[in-house]
Chains A and B, each alone.
Chain A
Amino acid sequence: MQLCNKWPSFVTNRWTTQIKPKLVHMALLEVQHLKKYYATQKAVDDISFSIEEGSIFGLLGPNGAGKTTLLRMITGIFFPDEGNIIFEGRPFDAINDIIRIGYMPEERGLYKKMKIGEQAVYLAQLKGLPRNTAILKVKEWFEKFEMQSWWNKKVEDLSKGMGQKLQFVTTVLHEPKLIILDEPFSGLDPVNSNLIKEEIYQLAKKGCTIIFSTHRMEQVEEICDQIVLINKGRKILDGKVSDIRQQFKENLYRVIVAENPQIPGASGFSILGQEGDEWTIQLQPQTSTNDFLSQLISQGVAIKGFNEILPSLNDIFIKLVHDKQSATRQFQPISA
């Protein structure tokens, strides 16, 4: 990572084409022992994680977990009380690095009385784009999202969904290295949700790193490579989504049987439920799937299907958060 400091300035220059050699598993953002305490609560309490370049990273947590405070530190809005933020291998410089970050806060906001096109250009200019470039970019994106006819409309005349699309465009317009989206799908219909989702994939493919903050687990499972789960200001879990699901698996399987809807009782597993010809069973740790299946086969059960049930992130989330909540109750929820 020390390498980054030695790159000539034209490489690190904002608007030159990125000819940076892509380092394998280079962390774009690293957060080390970050702390932010308010008078009445520990909003962020010793959180560390790192995000690989080009990945889609999920920041999860219930309402009031400290997500917004954490994101505000990463976007340079707040300064941490303690800890370090390393951006592209260097200490994060709130003044100069923020133009390489695009942040869409959960509370959407635009100037209501301002014309849409002018507003997008204005926000892009504040992210360092020259005015002419900004106008071209806005036109490009408006075309992509079929918003060309909106240019001279005012924000107050837009529907909520249209406003969301505009907000997304203004967030990614300046081609930031790091895009932070706080609940990006809230208030969007399925069609527009998909549109934005596709764009998120496209941006990640182009090398953007995306932090996706939400409490909606099903979206995370679908989109994110890696997650961090925080609750009450502390990190309670992080890792790759698939690893985490493996880690929390409870040896649950689904068996679909034909003709004979009965599974005879046997050793090494227990039956948790039945719905039609679908059975949910839990294997005991020492029982392998082969042992189980051969038992069934030897007893003449016709098996139509068999698969492992991994816990959903939602289940894990609820389980972890619930456990923590019953264990400690020392902090008040943080206002968003």
Chain B
Amino acid sequence: MNKTFIIIRREFLSRVQKKSFLLSTILLPLFIFGFYALIIYFSVKGEENLKVAVADQTGLLEGKLESSETIRFSFIKEQDPAALQTLLNNNDYTGYIIIPAGFSGKPGDSLLYTSNSNVGLMTKEKIQSTLNKALEKIQVQKLLAPGITLGQLDSTRSDITLKVSKAGQKSGSTGFAYALGFICGILIYAILFIYGAMVMRGVMEEKTSRIAEVMVSSVRPYQLMLGKIIGIGAVGLVQFLIWGVLIIGLQMLLPVIYPQLLDHAVNNAGNISAANNNSQQMEMVKEILKNMHDINIGKILALFILYFLGGYLLYSAMFAAVGSAVNEDPQDAQSLMLPITMPIIFSFVIMTQAINNPDGGLAIFGSLFPLSSPIVMMARLPYGVPAWQIALSLLLLVLGIMGTTWLASRIYRTGILMYGKKANWKELWKWAMRG
């Protein structure tokens, strides 16, 4: 059996068999799920006592929108978005809808609801259905004249959609892209730190327990280093897999818990009939699916795994090098880690920029440069990235991995046998450069 494989096997098993691994692997998804359920609960629940300003430029709906206990519609004179925004900022209204001149309520038309706060799905549905009901009434009244055909009757069904916007942000699937990119970026950011530190601690353990010299009399140092990196990477992958399965599994369970959640929300909301319940749920699911479809989740997941592995391999080699240079004192690690943690933190900063401006120069550079691409690319992906950029970015990442691994293995082979001397990066560079 190949020695590197034997090392991978030990590194993997020794971690997977720990109680803490089992605990974190199972508890975390439960925690995430709980968090998730809470978010859904709040987003479904919607706000109470909404005051919606309607700037009706057509005069079509004037006075025809029924206010309920929780949503009150007020028709106002201001038509200018800036003026309306001031009203929002003054907390006079929760949100506003402009009904532009020329709007006739044809099926497929849409209106924009702008609010300073996040708009729950339930709130959105309620406003939308109120609008549609009002429009249907108008249509029906128009047709109260004799001689209606069936086709005409059908056309009374109003099917406008309400788009939701948080003031100053893009709407619809961009919101979803934003969230997805941000979550993926943060995940990779966290992975680099968590698993990188795990590699570093593993190397430090070998060095301080003096097993390193025994090991390198059996295997080459790079085999030891690679074995550790790949073994821990496999632990990470398995952990993610379990998390994925658990989260998806729990989501399957969601409908079981969901109806109560929804009922609760409905009771709170008051006037939505139970019959509407199902169709509304369907609406939401449809919307989420549509967003997912727009963004191509499969491709993003595949690239997420690639960038997760790539970023991990790139950085963990450097973490291993630092681990090899540290003596008994973990304090030493802090200062040595700085040159590694800085690019990760910078990548995170670039990512927050890229998420708002995915095609900006900084975002493109950040998503190509191997030290930052695993994090920054995540932010850009949901918005769509040209294939050549992804290919170039991955190619550069592979070259980067080869480069850092080569450099790290040279530092590592000297470092793990070096005791007593406090090393700095200048010293490490010397180790790397010497033959």
- Contact between chains at B216 and A77 (CB < 8 Å): yes
Contact B217 A75 (CB under 8 A): yes
Segment at the A interface, from B111-119, B243-251, B415-423: B415-423
Q: Is A111 an interface residue (CB 8 A)?
A: yes
- Chain B residues whose CB sits within 8 angstroms of the CB of A127 once the complex forms: 218
Name 21 A/B residue pairs within 8 A (Cβ), A-sorted: A75-B217, A101-B217, A104-B214, A105-B213, A107-B210, A107-B213, A109-B206, A109-B210, A109-B214, A110-B214, A111-B14, A111-B206, A111-B211, A112-B205, A122-B10, A125-B6, A126-B215, A126-B219, A127-B218, A131-B1, A170-B214
Which has the most chain B C-beta neighbours within 10 Å: A101, A109, A113, A114? Answer: A109
Residues in B with CB closer than 8 Å to A318 are none
How far does the alpha carbon of A84 sit from the alpha carbon of B421 in the complex, in Å?
30
Q: How far is the CB of B417 from chain A (nearest CB, A)?
A: 7
Shortest Cβ-Cβ A-B pairs, 9 listed: A109-B210, A109-B211, A103-B217, A126-B218, A107-B210, A105-B213, A75-B217, A77-B216, A125-B6
A72 interface contact, C-beta 8 A:
yes
Chain B residues with CB below 8 A from A271, complex form: none
Contacts of A107 in B (CB 8 A): 210, 213, 419
Question: In whole Å, how far is B211's beta carbon from the nearest beta carbon of chain A?
Answer: 4
Report the separation of the CA atoms of residues A288 and B174 in the bound assembly, to the nearest whole angstrom.
107
Contact A125 B1 (CB under 8 A): yes
Kindly state the interface size class of chain B when it binds its partner: 20 to 34
Please give the distance in Å from B93's CB to the nearest CB on chain A.
62
* Chain B CB within 8 A of A172 CB: no
B220 touches A95 (CB 8 A): yes
Which chain A residue has the least Cβ–Cβ distance from B212? A109
Q: Among A77, A98, A99, A113, find the residue whose CB has the most chain B CB atoms closer than 10 A.
A: A77
Q: Which residues of chain A have C-beta atoms less than 8 A from B214's C-beta? A: 103-105, 109-110, 123, 167, 170
The distance from the CB of B66 to the nearest CB of chain A, in whole angstroms, is 69
A7 CA to B359 CA, complexed, in Å = 67
Given contacts A114-B14, A126-B7, A335-B419, contact A105 B219 (CB under 8 A): no
Interface residues of B in 5-25 (CB under 8 A from A): 6-7, 10, 14
Report the Cα distance A75→B220, complex, angstroms: 11
A50 CA to B14 CA in the complex, in Å?
Answer: 42
Q: Which residues of B contact A95 (CB under 8 A)?
A: 220
Is A76 interfacial (CB-CB < 8 Å)?
A: yes
Asked if B3 is at the interface of the complex by the 8 Å CB criterion, the answer is yes
- C-alpha spacing A335/B414, complex, angstroms: 13
Q: Is the CB of A122 within 8 A of B210?
A: no
| Distance between Cα atoms of A103 and B216 in the complex (Å) | 10
Q: Is B209 an interface residue (CB 8 A)?
A: yes
Interface residues of A in 109-134 (CB under 8 A from B): 109-114, 122-123, 125-127, 130-131
Residue A11 CB within 8 A of the other chain: no
For chain A, the count of residues having a C-beta within 8 Å of the partner chain is 31
Query: Whole-angstrom distance between the alpha carbons of A104 and B217 in the complex?
Result: 9
Count chain B CB atoms within 10 A of each CB in A103, A107, A130 and give the residue with the most. Answer: A107
Q: A109 near B6 (CB under 8 angstroms)?
A: no
User: Knowing that A77-B216, A105-B210, A108-B210 are A-B contacts, what are 7 other residue pairs whose CB atoms are under 8 Å apart, sorted by A's residue number?
Assistant: A95-B220, A104-B214, A109-B206, A109-B213, A110-B214, A112-B209, A335-B421
* Residues of chain B having any CB pair with chain A under 8 Å: 1, 3, 6-7, 10, 14, 205-206, 209-220, 417-421
Check: A258 CB closer than 8 A to any chain B CB: no
Shortest CB distance B170–A (Å): 51
Task: Report how far A104 CA is from B421 CA in the complex, Å.
Answer: 23
Q: Is A336 an interface residue (CB 8 A)?
A: yes
Contact check, B419 vs A336: say whether CB atoms are below 8 A apart.
yes
Q: Which residues of A contact B419 (CB under 8 A)?
A: 107, 335-336
What 1/0 flags go to A71-115 for Cβ under 8 Å of B? 010011100000000000000001100110101110111111110
Contacting residue for B209 out of A72, A104, A110, A170, CB 8 A: A110
Closest Cβ of chain A: how far from B87's Cβ, in Å? 64
CB closest chain-B residue, reference A94 = B220
Chain A contacts for B215, CB-based, 8 A: 126
Within 8 Å CB of A98, what residues of B?
Answer: 217-218
Q: Which of B3, B10, B206, B211 has the most CB of A within 10 A?
A: B211
How far apart sit A94 and B419, CA to CA, in the bound complex (Å)?
23
Are A113 and B217 within 8 A (Cβ)? Answer: no
Tell me the minimal C-beta distance from A162 to chain B in angstroms. Answer: 16
**Complex alpha-carbon distance, A86 and B224, angstroms:** 26
Q: Tell me the nearest residue of chain A to B223, going by C-beta.
A: A126
Say how far A178's CB is from chain B's closest CB, in angstroms.
Answer: 11
Which chain B residues border A104 with CB–CB below 8 Å? 214
Chain B residue contacts of A113, Cβ below 8 A: 14
Residues of the B chain whose Cβ atoms lie less than 8 Å from the Cβ of A76: 217
CA distance A113 to B218 in the complex (A): 20
Q: How far is the CA of A77 from the CA of B421 in the complex (A)?
A: 19
**Complex Cα gap A107–B10 (Å):** 23
**Known pairs A99-B218, A122-B6; A110 contacts B211 (CB<8 A):** yes
What A residues does B211 contact at CB under 8 A? 109-111
Most buried by B among A103, A125, A167: A125
In the complex the two chains form, what is the Cα distance from A131 to B220 in whole Å?
20
- Give the residues from 291 to 336 in chain A that come closer than 8 angstroms, CB to CB, to chain B: 335-336
Residues of A within 8 A of B14 (CB): 111, 113-114
Give Cα A105–Cα B419 distance, bound, in whole angstroms: 14
Supposing A126-B218, A335-B421 touch, asked if A77 and B213 sit within 8 A by C-beta, the answer is yes
A94 to B413 CA separation, bound complex (whole angstroms): 14
Contact of B217 among A105, A110, A112, A131 (CB under 8 A): A105
Chain A hits for B219, CB < 8 A: 126
The complex places the Cα of A69 from the Cα of B424 at a distance, in Å, of 23
Q: Which residues of B contact A108 (CB under 8 A)?
A: 210
Residues in A with CB closer than 8 Å to B216 are 77
A226 to chain B, nearest CB (A): 23
Give chain A nearest CB distance to B9 CB in angstroms.
Answer: 9
Residue of A nearest to B14 (CB): A114
- Are A126 and B210 neighbours in the complex by a CB distance under 8 Å? no
**Is B218 a contact of A123 with CB atoms below 8 Å?**
yes
